[in-house]
Amino acid sequence: MRVPWAPIRSDSSDNGPVSDLPRRAVTRTAKLATLPLGLAGRTAVGLGKRVGGRPAELVAAEVQARTAEQLFKVLGELKGGAMKFGQALSVFEAAMPEELAGPYRATLTKLQDAAPPMPAATVHKVLATELGPRWRRNFVDFDDSPAAAASIGQVHRAVWKDGREVAVKVQYPGAREALLSDLTQVSRMGRLAAGWIPGLDIKPILGELRARMSEELDYTLEAQSQHTFAAAFAGDEVFAIPDVLRSSEHLIVSEWLEGVPLSQLIAHGEKDSRDLVARRYMEFLLAGPARAGLLHADPHPGNYRLTADGRFGVLDFGAVKRLPDGMPPQIGQLLTLALAERDREVVTGLREEGFIKSSIEIDPHGLLEYLSPFLEPARHTSWTFSRAWMRDLFTHINDPRRPQWSIGLKLNLPPEYLLVHRVWLGGIAVLCQIGGEVPVLQVLADWLPGFDIDALDYVTVVE
């Protein structure tokens, strides 16, 4: 199966040129439909095998493995909004029940930094459009094999005309049309995904993807954001941000950043390395707004590297939240009040920020009980984020048998906090994948405006 924007060939019956969008949209819809339908079919086969006497555990494992394989095949090859949806899900694999996490973990993680590539001829055509017919004069060398393939573009390694190694990010032809189509069609997968991840509401994720689509499709805007980050962290001994050399609407040429991908460290990293990248990951989420006025809003592990000199490298700035004044200090203030168990002041502050509507009555003590598991890492001088803790969080917010469950239904999410909320929820999920130990209180004290660690002196802080 080939990507839908590849040039038409005589041996292809389901792909066509960019002008043939209606037919390709139907084809993409049909392929997306194979996911829930395929799961239903395999489940039926699995039930049949169980009736035939095969052990239920063996049948379940086989069904899950085959479903995971199809998930990557369909979402990866369709790219666009379908793959972005898969990447969003891959961040939350830490929340899956362990019996499901195994077969899906490797498959979903593959969507974070890899996908089937588009043909070299298509890449060359984009380069000729963006850089001119003599585009090769800009490069000493250009590798036609992609170094990475993502949702709306893929990256090639090259040597720029001044001798610097560069990453050339090329947008797929037809990406805009594919993204528009996919973000509509992929919503039918919501019920299926909700079954994998208890407590996760897919609709806000899809809504956020739609809201940011135009910005991510314009590589000129992404290049501006990347340059802002690179300037803010230039010469930094802790973080490494590659700068931009050339950009257009469908192309970015930036400095090459060598390093070990975070996904590899998650899978095989030693404890010291995982502890280091976990701390740097959390620090960067706060340091970006503080130093660049931007929140990096694409938290999945494929965007991060550990360089040979121990710096934390960051890539892909297509999705950002503009925070020119840094993180809102109200977040740090409310966190301080919650940790100090000043429940009535927490309710008042949440009302002022729009998290509790004026018409809603809420029990202050019950609210803190509901929030308590989320606050646990900040009650310790250091905390090891784990998949088990993440699963407990999702169970906590999704269990109607718990007395505080109804409190969660009374909370509102103001639009101005939507992206911040999504980034931090995704960030915590990635921290749980890393499994590293983080000095959470110190990081918050260093980087979160409004957080007052001195106000917690009378609170028992667990060593």
Active site residues: 298
- The Cα–Cα gap between 410 and 406 comes to 7
Q: Are 150 and 113 in contact (CB under 8 A)?
A: yes
- The Cα–Cα gap between 122 and 79 comes to 15
Q: Are 444 and 450 in contact (CB under 8 A)?
A: no
Strand partners, 160: 139
Task: Write the CB contacts of 322 (distance below 8 Å, at least 6 apart in sequence).
Answer: 293, 294, 295
